[in-house]
Structure 1
Amino acid sequence: MVTVGLFIRVEAKPDKVEEVEERFKSVVEIVRKEGKAVVWFALRLGPTTFAIYDAFANDADRQAHLDANLPALQAAGVGLFTEPPTVEHIDVVASLVPGE
């Protein structure tokens, strides 16, 4: 059951949009192997605005995922983003997830 999530918003530098998109695509396997996220999405919200939404069964999994991955996102962001990522911890009120 999904109970908590993360919503991470980033603003790509205009000349780095394609690189941000490719980087997010390459992260899917890392997240899958980690096994903490129940669902994980990389989203494009606008021409240069992206977000990651992922959800977890519990806060411990969310924190472990964040601890393992946020430093790499922040480091990559120095060259790719106009500002540091914004990270929101969210509570999931209801969900429809395959297999639940």
Structure 2
Amino acid sequence: MTVEVGLLVTLDAKPGKEDEVAAIPNAGLLVVEQEPGTVTWYAIRHGDTTFGIFDTFGTDNGRQAHLSGAVAKALGQVAGDLFASPPDIRPVDILAAKTAG
């Protein structure tokens, strides 16, 4: 499947909440695996308190479905408790990609 669009999300954990934020991707992955429009999904850590999610979608419809899905709702519910600032969610266009196969 080709990818056309993506999301780049940055999450900054409150001090002392890093382990809880680091655990979020494991629960999120189970949900994302059921989303037919989500092609790839990566959870990363790039600092002591900074985490990220990068995901790609075949179409903008897939991206919009993901943004209104269970993972986005779950992040919204824990944002005040775990994050130092609201999640920074940036839509991106995929210019080039290497896919398996």
TM-score band w.r.t. shorter chain: over 0.9
C-alpha separation between the residues in 1 aligned to 2:36 and 2:50? Answer: 27
The whole-number CA distance in structure 2 between the counterparts of 1:36 and 1:14 is: 34
AA at the equivalent of 2:82: L
- The RMSD of aligned alpha carbons is 1.0
CA distance in structure 1 between the aligned counterparts of 2:48 and 2:99, rounded to whole angstroms: 29
- Aligned-residue offset at 1:71: 2.5
Partner of 1:93: 95
Q: Helix, strand or coil: the match of 2:56?
A: strand
Which 5+ residue runs of structure 2 have no aligned equivalent? none
1:52-71 to structure 2, matched below 5 A, reads 52-68=53-69, 69-71=71-73
The amino acid across from 1:76 in the alignment is V
What CA distance in whole angstroms lies between the structure 2 residues aligned with 1:29 and 1:97?
Answer: 21
Alignment partners' CA distance in 1, 2:83 and 2:37: 26
State TM-score, norm by structure 2: 0.92
Q: What is the alpha-carbon distance in structure 2 between the residues aligned to residue 74 and residue 55 of structure 1? A: 20
User: Which ranges in structure 1 are unaligned for 5 or more consecutive residues?
Assistant: none
Q: In structure 1, what is the equivalent of residue 31 of structure 2?
A: 30
Seq. identity, %:
38
Q: How many residues align?
A: 99
Q: Distance in 1 between matches of 2:88 and 2:76?
A: 10
